[in-house]
Amino acid sequence: MVVKSETVSITVKEIPLVYSLSISVAPRIGDIGDKFRFKGTLRYDGKKIRDATINLVLEGVGVVGSVITDKHGKYSVDWIADRAGLLYFHAEALEVGAMSPRVSISLQAFEERGLFQIVASTLVGGLLIMMSGWLE
């Protein structure tokens, strides 16, 4: 009698479950003093995570806002622009080691020396004429 034995080798690899943290911002362009809203969602293995602390980080400066995710894993942080330039931000959930991709906003600087913007318009022969300028 011939008995054949077959050996089957199964390799089981543990696939780490990963946290993911998204981020978006609106608007993307503005002025000093404008409000920008950063929002996103924290997930673990596709499931939304509630009650996690999310920090909004302005790169080169540090944390500029913190919030707790809601029952849908969502967060929203408002930031008032206090500097000009092309600024990069990301969100992080330190307690779970998650970091979002980075997003950028572009801010223009206007010097505050008592400048006032004047906008005037008038109708001349059915034509709307608009003028604007700055007074010091």
Residue 43's CATH number: 2.60.40.10
Domain assignment present for residue 12? The answer is: no
Domain assignment present for residue 126? The answer is: no
Confidence category of residue 2, pLDDT binned at 50, 70, 90: low
Domain assignment present for residue 125? The answer is: no
Domain assignment present for residue 121? The answer is: no
Domain assignment present for residue 86? The answer is: yes
This model's pTM is above 0.75: no
Read off the pLDDT of residues 33-78 as tens digits, 9 standing for 90 and up.
Answer: 999 999 999 999 889 999 999 999 999 999 999 999 999 999 999 9
Read off the pLDDT of residues 101-132 as tens digits, 9 standing for 90 and up.
Answer: 999 999 887 655 445 444 444 445 555 555 55
Domain assignment present for residue 29? The answer is: yes
Q: Domain residues for 26?
A: 19-108
Structurally, the chain folds into a number of domains equal to: 1
In this structure, the chain runs to a length of 136
Domain assignment present for residue 87? The answer is: yes
User: How far, in Å, are 41, 72, 121 from residue 81 at the CA level?
Assistant: 23, 28, 31
Domain assignment present for residue 11? The answer is: no
CA distance 86 to 109: 11
